[in-house]
């Protein structure tokens, strides 16, 4: 097999370097981040964008243009002496094959793999001895969720079913929290401070607990979602429930509201049918009075008698056999009217059901949601964003052009979905855009996402718009123009966790605070002698780790509170800034992106 090697250094053999297979969206971002941290990286890629290839020549130790599934190519890349290999091509089977070949060449090498098929992930980790299998879409979704919730939510994470959120709190002038130390502030708000930003300076991760907060400062804290009320001024925030508007959930088909259902059936029916239906019910009421007076029945018997006549199941116990001729003729008329009433009732119900189904298929159904979040594009990322927001209790309305999508079927009954072309067009009424809270455009086309954001702003200038853009350069240039409040590159988000997993074996997530790479990882309390029998905030006072989650000895996991005491046998989730002694001299850049994630 022909291959082309572009060396950065002639020093060989290398040891303890990283082999990166695949230079697409995620791969290029991984290379940038690892190089900025001073790591030696050898790149293998079958094809990539020319601009990326030129950058790779400067960022990596060696770039090999070839198929990484060749053992000869892996040997050329130094897999036999490498400490870790990243298989992040855009094909799952290729990544599995690379992992198998690398393990055969070097049984001790660690493997981090990209895999979109989540059903295979657990088996691959277990059976192939892979350090971590990651799904870029699943890693990017929490960042998009955070962006949809507002500017003050930086990130949301889920660890073994427990959610934690990083939120920004601004100290207003005259605030009662001004002049408090970070330690006292944490006790007051019952949240863990992790970073501090002074006006005119960068965010500082893990500032001293003795730092005094001043008006204008921004404090990043971690806590369970919804525990700090974003909708109220900071001084009035409580740790109780979220605003009622944020607790509205989409009701599943079996969770039917009878009054609303009857109202919808009535309003959906033609006016003529409604008039005839009302007339026949008035006739029934008149008949009850007639039989009460003419046959001297009590009111209950009169109601019963009219019901049996109009439903044509009567005359078994009560009859008109001995009534006057005019009353018998009236009974005949009532029977015919009853048959008509039943036919009209069934017609109205059938008309409602058929119309609802057609409107659902054509995307013309009007939503009754308010303060909801509209998600345009229910692909791999949109599906996860919708599920995450629904789990948080947000009201969600999905838009998808493919009615047969597996993700649309998976969301059926969980959120309402309009099946329309990707775009908002003239859907203002159906989307109830005037009462919506945000629009999240995560279709597979950057141009479509921009178009959706622009139209959303025209429908409702107060809407928050979040778009997925793989072209980071475009995202940076757009800023907040064209109706975009927040543009997110999923590849860049996912790459941070891939890098964290490469650097720290038990890493859960990686993300940036300012220019620092922050790694979230497990830490057994028994491995941290200073942690046992210490309060969470006391650890920060003494320069210990930033603890954000606790897992008790019986397996219960929960968000950490400042006054929690860490017990022997527990495990904690901590945030740490990655420190390296290697001189990188490389700065992350925003480059165009090339192929699909």
CATH for the 140-245 domain, from 3.30.43.10, 3.30.70.1450, 3.20.20.60, 3.40.50.300 = 3.30.70.1450
With contact defined as beta carbons under 8 Å apart, do 90 and 37 qualify?
no
With contact defined as beta carbons under 8 Å apart, do 357 and 386 qualify?
no
**429-432 CB contacts, 8 Å cutoff, 24+ apart:** 429/366, 430/363, 430/364, 430/365, 430/366, 430/367, 431/367, 431/374, 431/397, 431/399, 431/459, 432/366, 432/367, 432/368, 432/369, 432/370, 432/372, 432/397
Respond yes or no on whether the N-terminal peptide bond of residue 13 is cis (omega within 30° of 0): yes
Kindly indicate the confidence band of residue 483, based on its pLDDT and cuts at 50, 70 and 90: confident
With contact defined as beta carbons under 8 Å apart, do 113 and 95 qualify?
yes
**Which H or E element spans position 270?**
none
Q: What is the pLDDT of residue 322?
A: 65
Kindly indicate the confidence band of residue 243, based on its pLDDT and cuts at 50, 70 and 90: very low
Mean pLDDT, all residues of the chain: 82
pLDDT digits (tens, 9 = 90+) for 487-524: 999 999 999 999 999 999 899 999 999 889 999 999 98
Q: What pairs with residue 510 in β-bridges?
A: 519
460: helix, coil or strand?
coil
Q: Is 476's pLDDT higher than 60?
A: yes
Half-sphere exposure of 16 (CA within 13 A, CB side): 3
Say yes or no: domain 373-488 is CATH 3.40.50.620. Answer: no
373-488 has the same fold as 4-134: yes
CATH for the 4-134 domain, from 3.40.50.720, 3.40.190.10, 3.40.50.2300, 3.20.20.70 = 3.40.50.720
> For residue 576, what are its two tokens?
């740490």
- When mean pLDDT is compared over 312-326, 362-376, 549-563, the highest value belongs to 549-563
SS (H, E, C) 278-303: HHHHHHHHHHHHHHHHHCCCCHHHHH
CATH for the 258-345 domain, from 3.40.640.10, 3.40.50.720, 3.40.50.300, 1.10.287.70 = 1.10.287.70
Q: How far apart are the first and last CA of the chain?
A: 27
Q: What is the pLDDT of residue 242?
A: 42
Gyration radius from the chain CA atoms: 32
What ranges do the domains of the chain cover? 4-134, 140-245, 258-345, 373-488
SS (H, E, C) 189-250: HCCEEEEEECCCCCCEECCCCCCECCCCCEEEEEECCCCCCCCCCHHHCCCCCCCHHHHCCC
Q: Is 249's pLDDT higher than 90?
A: no
Backbone angles phi, psi at 236, to 5 degrees: -100, 5
Place of tokens 């026949």: 280
Dihedral of CA atoms 325, 327, 330, 331 in degrees, nearest 10, equals -100
Q: Can you tell me the distance from the alpha carbon of 545 to that of 379, in angstroms, rounded to the nearest whole number?
A: 38
> For residue 185, what are its two tokens?
């502030």
DSSP class of residue 434?
G
Kindly indicate the confidence band of residue 577, based on its pLDDT and cuts at 50, 70 and 90: very high
pLDDT digits (tens, 9 = 90+) for 522-531: 998 878 878 8
Task: Tell me the pairing of strands 4-7 and 62-65.
Answer: antiparallel
């Amino acid at each position: 097999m022909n291959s082309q090697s572009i060396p950065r250094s002639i020093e060989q053999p290398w040891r303890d370097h990283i082999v990166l297979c695949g230079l697409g969206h995620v791969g290029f971002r991984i290379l940038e981040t690892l190089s900025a941290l001073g790591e030696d990286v050898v790149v293998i890629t079958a094809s990539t964008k020319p601009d990326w290839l030129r950058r790779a020549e400067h960022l990596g130790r060696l770039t090999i243009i070839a198929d990484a599934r060749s053992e000869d190519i892996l040997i050329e890349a130094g897999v036999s002496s490498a400490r870790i290999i990243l298989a992040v091509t855009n094909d799952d089977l290729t990544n599995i094959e690379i992992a198998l070949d690398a393990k055969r060449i070097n049984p001790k090498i660690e493997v981090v793999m990209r895999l979109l098929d989540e059903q295979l992930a657990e088996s691959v980790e277990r059976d192939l001895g892979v350090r971590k299998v990651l799904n870029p879409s699943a890693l990017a979704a929490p960042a998009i969720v955070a962006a949809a919730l507002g500017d003050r939510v930086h990130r949301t994470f889920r660890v073994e079913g427990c959610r934690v959120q990083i939120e920004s709190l601004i100290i207003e002038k005259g605030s009662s929290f001004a002049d408090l130390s970070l330690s006292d502030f944490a006790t007051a708000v019952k949240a863990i401070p992790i970073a501090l930003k002074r006006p005119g300076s960068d965010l500082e991760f893990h500032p001293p607990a003795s730092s005094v907060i001043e008006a204008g400062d921004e404090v990043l804290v971690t806590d369970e979602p919804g525990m700090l009320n974003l909708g109220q001024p900071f001084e009035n925030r409580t740790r109780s429930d979220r605003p009622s508007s944020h607790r509205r959930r989409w009701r599943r088909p079996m969770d039917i509201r009878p009054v609303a259902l009857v109202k919808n059936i009535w309003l959906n029916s033609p006016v003529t049918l409604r008039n005839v239906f009302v007339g026949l019910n008035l006739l029934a009421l008149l008949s009850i009075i007639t039989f009460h007076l003419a046959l001297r029945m009590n009111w209950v018997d009169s109601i019963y008698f009219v019901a049996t006549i109009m439903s044509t199941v009567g005359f078994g116990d009560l009859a008109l056999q001995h009534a006057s001729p005019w009353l018998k003729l009236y009974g005949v008329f009532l029977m015919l009217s009853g048959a008509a009433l039943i036919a009209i009732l069934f017609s109205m119900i059938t008309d409602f059901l058929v119309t609802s189904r057609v409107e659902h298929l054509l995307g013309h159904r009007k939503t009754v949601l308010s303060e909801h979040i509209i998600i345009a594009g229910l692909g791999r990322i949109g599906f996860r964003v919708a599920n995450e927001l629904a789990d948080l209790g947000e009201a969600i309305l999905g838009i998808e052009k493919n009615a047969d999508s597996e993700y649309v079927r998976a969301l059926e009954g969980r959120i309402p979905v309009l099946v329309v072309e990707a775009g908002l067009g003239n859907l203002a009424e159906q989307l109830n855009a005037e009462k919506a809270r945000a629009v999240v455009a995560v279709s597979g086309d950057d141009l479509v996402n921009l178009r959706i954001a622009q139209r959303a702003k025209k429908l409702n200038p107060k809407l928050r718009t979040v778009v997925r853009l793989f072209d980071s350069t475009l995202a940076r240039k757009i800023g907040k123009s064209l109706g975009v409040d927040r543009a997110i590159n999923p590849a860049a988000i996912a790459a941070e966790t891939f890098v964290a997993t490469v650097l720290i074996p038990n890493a859960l997530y990686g993300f940036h605070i300012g220019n620092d790479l922050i790694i979230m990882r497990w830490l057994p309390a028994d491995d941290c002698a200073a942690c046992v029998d210490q309060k969470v905030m006391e650890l920060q006072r003494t320069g210990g780790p930033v603890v954000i989650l606790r897992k008790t000895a019986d397996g219960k996991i929960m968000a950490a509170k400042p006054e929690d005491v860490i017990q022997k046998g527990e495990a904690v989730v901590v945030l740490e800034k990655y420190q390296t002694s290697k001189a990188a001299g490389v700065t992350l850049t925003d480059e165009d992106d090339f192929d699909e994630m």
